[in-house]
Structure formats: structure tokens, C-alpha cells
Homo-oligomer: A and B are copies of this chain.
Amino acid sequence: MAADQLSLVFQALADPIRRAILTRLTNGDATVAELAEPFNVTQPAISRHLKVLEAAGLISRSRRATARLSHLEAEPLRDVTTWLARYQRFWDESHERLDELLAALQNNRQNGTDRAEAVPTKGNEDG
């Protein structure tokens, strides 16, 4: 129900067809029919995938005669990357030990700086 933007983006990316559509759009704008062509699903199904992508801000749309063009909007992917950056040190084996130590140190001095990754307050949301 009306999730936050980041959730909408992740949700949109969770479907292989939608990811493939985004990949296709890196080659340029395309009509619904063009986007539907590679898949074994009907046109209304693609139409709804596009609606999901649009709600996530991953595409924008325009008209050309009776056709509707989809255009890639990669901005939300930047936000995803930003969110992911925080975890980069955890998959970087060579630095993992050091960074765990640093994290422990930052936990110890508990002066609440604004860069804290505080556990969400009762209710939810991530940092």
C-alpha cells in the first residue's frame, strides 16, 4: 500500500520482464508493441509492467501519433546505488575486518552524529 519510493523501485526491479524492458530502453525509446515483442505475454500485460515502471519513476512516457513511447529515467537507480554503497565494505573481503572494527568503534562513542545508521524507531523504515 503506497510504499516509499525506494520500495517501489526495488519492487519494479524484482521482475525479469521489467528489467529486460529497462535494458531495452537503454537502446532508445520504444513503443509498447516493440517492448512486448520479445516476450510471451500479451500486450496488456506489458502495458501494466510499464505502469509499474512509471510509478517507480524508472520510465517516462510521451505520444507519437497513436503510439506511446517509453523513455528510460535512470535517476531512481542512482538512489538505489546510493543505498547499496553503504554495504560495499561488507562484500569487500580485504577490508571487512577493518571496517567491522571501525563500526564497533563508532558504536562505542555514542555521540549521535547525523551519519548514524540508527535502527528505525518503532514503526519501521530503514536508515
Residues of A near any B CB (own CB < 8 A): 3-4, 6-7, 10-11, 13-17, 19-20, 22-24, 26-28, 38-40, 72, 74-75, 77-78, 80-81, 83-84, 86-88, 90-91, 100, 103-104, 107, 117, 119-127
| 23 A-B residue pairings within 8 Å (CB atoms) | A3-B14, A3-B16, A4-B16, A14-B14, A16-B125, A17-B124, A20-B119, A20-B120, A20-B127, A23-B119, A23-B120, A24-B119, A26-B86, A27-B107, A28-B104, A38-B119, A38-B124, A40-B124, A77-B90, A80-B80, A80-B84, A81-B81, A84-B84
A74 contact from B28, B90, B107, B117, Cβ within 8 A = B90
Using Cβ atoms and an 8 Å threshold, which residues of chain B touch A117? 23, 26-27
| CB of A85 to closest CB in B, whole Å | 8
Using Cβ atoms and an 8 Å threshold, which residues of chain B touch A122? 38-40
